[in-house]
Amino acid sequence: MLPPLAVTGAGAVTAAGRGLDPLWRALLEGKAFPALDADPQLAGFAPIATARGPRLDPAALGADPRAARLMGRHTHMLLACVADALAEAGRDGRELRGEETGFFTGMDSVDPAEGDLEGAALASVEGGGWSPARFLAEGYRAIYPLWPLAMLNNIAHCQVAIQFGLRGENATFSPGPEAGVQAVAEAAGAVHEGRARAALAAGVGAVASARAVARYRERGLLLPGAGLGAGRPFAGGPGAILGEGAAALVLEAADRAGGRPALGRLAGWGAARAIEGRVSLSAAFRAAAEGALRSGGCGPEEVGLVLPHGGCQERMEAAEIEALAGLFGPRRPLALATKGALGHLLGGAPVTDLWLALRCLRERAVPPSPRRGEGAEEVLRFPDQTERAGGLRCALVLSCGLDGVCGALLAAAA
Amino acid at 197: R
In sequence order, the β-bridge partners of residue 232 are none
Residue with more model confidence, 293 or 133 = 293
Q: Which range is most confident: 116-130, 210-224, 337-351?
A: 337-351
Average pLDDT over the chain reads 88
- Residue 63 C-alpha from the chain's centroid: 22
Output the CA–CA distances (angstroms, integers) from residue 329 to 110, 163, 229, 308, 380, in the order listed.
41, 48, 32, 16, 11
Question: Which residues have CB under 8 Å from 146's CB, separation 6+?
Answer: 70
Q: At what angle do helices 153-164 and 73-89 cross, to 10 degrees?
A: 40
Tell me how far apart the alpha carbons of residues 77 and 65 are, in angstroms, rounded to a whole number: 17
Per residue in 57-84, pLDDT tens?
888 888 877 777 778 889 999 999 999 9
Beta-bridged to residue 407, according to DSSP, are: 271, 399
**What φ, ψ does residue 85 adopt, rounded to 5°?**
-65, -45
Q: How far apart are the first and last CA of the chain?
A: 18
Helix (H) or strand (E) holding 216: helix 210-218
Distance of alpha carbon 410 from alpha carbon 303, whole angstroms: 9
pLDDT given for residue 240 in this prediction: 80
200 φ, ψ to 5°?
-95, 135
In percent, the amount of the chain with pLDDT more than 70 equals 92
Judge contact between 371 and 237, C-beta under 8 A. Answer: yes
The set of long-range contacts for 89-95, using a CB threshold of 8 Å and a minimum separation of 24, is 89/8, 89/9, 89/198, 89/250, 89/252, 89/260, 90/8, 90/9, 90/258, 90/260, 93/9, 93/164, 93/250, 95/258
Q: How far apart are CA 400 and CA 267, in angstroms?
A: 20
Residue 378 CB coordination number (10 Å):
11
The gap from C-alpha 22 to its chain's centroid, in whole angstroms, comes to 17
In this predicted structure, which of 206-210, 236-240, 247-251, 331-335 has the lowest mean pLDDT? 236-240
Give the confidence band of 153 by pLDDT, cuts at 50, 70, 90.
Answer: confident
Average pLDDT over residues 278-298: 95
Q: What are phi and psi of 233, to 5 degrees?
A: -55, 145
Q: What is the pTM of this model?
A: 0.91
Distance CA 388, CA 353 (A): 19
What type of residue is 212? A
What's the rounded Cα separation, in Å, for the pair 170 and 150? 19
Around 370, how many Cα atoms within 13 Å sit in the side-chain half-sphere? 17
